[in-house]
A and B are shown apart, each in its own frame.
Chain A
Amino acid sequence: MSIDRATAARVAKLARIKVEESSLDSLASEFNQILGFIEQLNEVNVEGIEPMTSVSPQKLKRRIDQVSDGDQQDRVLSNAPDAREGFFAVPKVVE
């Protein structure tokens, strides 16, 4: 499978990473190198094999669905690049 400029641009868009037009060709070529390496997996017979969902056999522990923490607005916002009046601030989302 080969990745072209358009696919590279689409992937960058999906990943929300800005890639300059001029870098798309080299990006596509790097993707192809890595995917070429990954293609080796096609040699393996995986028929009837379950995809791994958990590396250890233990069951995930359950807990009661209840509030255990909270009332920490200042601490939650303390690392925000832009916080105003107790909220995260972002550029206008709805026109």
Chain B
Amino acid sequence: MAEYNNWTIAEARDKLRAKEITSEELTLSCISAIDNADALGAFVHKTPDEAVDQAKSADLRLKQGDAPALCGIPIGVKDLFACKGVLTQAASKILEGFKPEYESTVTQNLKNAGAITLGKLNMDEFAMGSSNETSVYGNAINPWKVSDKVLTPGGSSGGSASAVAADLCLAAIGTDTGGSIRQPAAFTGIVGIKPTYGRCSRWGIVAFASSLDQAGPMCKSVRDTAIMLEPMCGFDNKDSTSSESKVPNFEAMLTGDIKGKKIGIPREYRLEGMSPQIESLWQDGADMLRAAGAEIVDISLPHTKYALPAYYVIAPAEASSNLARYDGVRFGRRATLSASENITEMYERSRSEGFGMEVQRRVMIGTYVLSAGFYDAYYNRARKVRSLIKKDFEDVFATGVDAILTPTTPSAAFELGKMESADPVEMYLNDVFTVTVNLAGLPGISIPAGLNSEGLPLGLQLIGRPWEEGDLMNIAYTLETATGYTKKPEKWW
């Protein structure tokens, strides 16, 4: 079969509209790629029959002309999004067999725009993790490899990243609470954006930390990201925190002209002991933006150091509350009870059998920081620090800075199992550059910027002003063009 699955959305859209190919052919090409890639552990629930049906409808729509940009484009969906009648488990045992009776707003928006859904993608359980190793389905695997080492695709949207990097689909959706789109995008050499908090409705997305969670696209290019983000956005009656801000035509904003833009380089992101390769990649990125006409300025975000500790109070606190709904009563898995066990024992055993270790840990930490006597010392203090972190960004933007350039991660993808013996805090450090953005509610994008000496992709992150995703993606597009990055992993699976 001809291989179309390695196309970008932009390429496929143009060929679909020119009638050079049908969505059915394109979809079948992805289905075949998925069936040959079980070794990657990316797709955990495949829906090929639904996909082909959707493709046939898309072809009809395309034939009639005037089809939207995503019409006929096959994508993958993180297991966190409720899809009507399709297993939706947030990669957790506690949601074993759960088939929602409803569709998430974001997936519905994408379907309305004509996108084809190929199935559900692997992730860390309840999106808690940075390596996709906490999933009930087993690990997702990075298509990038160094000799015989098996690497993490990052997390929590590890399946989404792996699937896009391996060309199993044209694009995927992920969610980002502390870096869960941007870190895996960096580890797999793709583009991922977390939009401004409130851009996308959270309705129908399994909740982790409601004040931080946002959905976003994970794609093969900045242009694709712009095409895909637009239909995902918009106000939704079912999510009172979704924004009524106008959604612009993001793709039309990719002009490649960034003359006069002011790009900040935050000195607090220069970590002690940071890899010299990441340091020089960061410098190269700044030089390229300068060469494209931007002004590079040194900036300070003084509370950066406190972002991760604040996050590890706020996110578990919200998670402990959100995950209280998994009690073995209304949906999900209930422990098998003996006749003598009462309802409290049912709750306790259902939750200890159904939640993995990392989820249990975070729910309990959250319970602790919210408990009487500690609420002020931990939770309220963390929320005050969060105000200060947001103010750091506001102060910088007030000086005319348009965007901030940083590395996405402190390292390239690491080996699966490598962090097993590490204490939990060590794994949390993966999100050191990304978590500030969630705390401040800002848009952030990661683009692949080069390979390290082992031949693994490294990402750069751009952070934008609230609601300025269009401008942010234009700067990212300019940087993408300048880096000329086109590398793909060699197929071994």
B344 touching A16, Cβ below 8 Å: yes
Cβ of B305 under 8 Å from chain A: yes
Provide the residues of chain A in CB contact with B390, threshold 8 Å.
Answer: 52, 55
A3-B367 Cα distance, complex, nearest whole Å: 14
A46 touching B385, Cβ below 8 Å: yes
The CB with the most chain B CB atoms within 10 A, among A31, A42, A56, A63, is that of: A56
Query: Knowing A90-B346, A93-B343 touch, does A56 contact B388 (C-beta < 8 A)?
Result: no
Cβ of B115 under 8 Å from chain A: no
Give min CB distance, A29 to chain B, whole Å.
9
A18-B347 Cα distance, complex, nearest whole Å: 9
A37-B163 Cα distance, complex, nearest whole Å: 34
Provide the residues of chain A in CB contact with B61, threshold 8 Å.
Answer: none
Query: Knowing A79-B332, A81-B332 touch, does A58 contact B198 (C-beta < 8 A)?
Result: yes
Provide the residues of chain B in CB contact with A7, threshold 8 Å.
Answer: 368
Chain A proximity mask over B227-257: 1 for CB below 8 Å, otherwise 0? 0000000000100110110000000000000
Provide the residues of chain B in CB contact with A82, threshold 8 Å.
Answer: 334
Residue of chain A at shortest CB distance from B429: A37
Give the A interface residue count (CB, 8 A). Answer: 50
Residue of chain B at shortest CB distance from A40: B309
Cβ of A19 under 8 Å from chain B: yes
B329 touching A41, Cβ below 8 Å: no
Provide the residues of chain A in CB contact with B414, threshold 8 Å.
Answer: none
A90-B333 Cα distance, complex, nearest whole Å: 13
Q: Which of B48-56, B184-192, B348-356 contacts A (4 or more CB under 8 A)?
A: B348-356
Provide the residues of chain A in CB contact with B348, threshold 8 Å.
Answer: 16-18
Cβ of B306 under 8 Å from chain A: yes
The CB with the most chain B CB atoms within 10 A, among A17, A39, A90, is that of: A17
A35-B384 Cα distance, complex, nearest whole Å: 17
B347 touching A16, Cβ below 8 Å: yes
Give min CB distance, A9 to chain B, whole Å.
11
Give min CB distance, A63 to chain B, whole Å.
7
Provide the residues of chain B in CB contact with A84, threshold 8 Å.
Answer: none
A90-B344 Cα distance, complex, nearest whole Å: 11
Which of B288-344 touch A at CB < 8 Å?
303, 305-306, 308-310, 312-313, 320, 324, 327-334, 337, 341-344
Cβ of B360 under 8 Å from chain A: yes
Q: Is the interface of B mostly helix, strand, loop or mixed?
A: helix
Give min CB distance, B31 to chain A, whole Å.
28
Which of A40-95 touch B at CB < 8 Å?
40-44, 46, 49-56, 58, 60-61, 63, 72, 75-76, 78-82, 88, 90-93
B333 touching A81, Cβ below 8 Å: yes
A54-B327 Cα distance, complex, nearest whole Å: 28
Cβ of B57 under 8 Å from chain A: no
Provide the residues of chain A in CB contact with B98, threshold 8 Å.
Answer: 79
B327 touching A16, Cβ below 8 Å: yes
Cβ of B19 under 8 Å from chain A: no
Residue of chain B at shortest CB distance from A63: B237
Query: Knowing A17-B360, A51-B380, A92-B342 touch, does A40 contact B352 (C-beta < 8 A)?
Result: no
Provide the residues of chain A in CB contact with B76, threshold 8 Å.
Answer: none
A14-B441 Cα distance, complex, nearest whole Å: 31
Give min CB distance, A1 to chain B, whole Å.
8
Provide the residues of chain B in CB contact with A30, threshold 8 Å.
Answer: 361, 423-424
A13-B104 Cα distance, complex, nearest whole Å: 33
B367 touching A18, Cβ below 8 Å: no
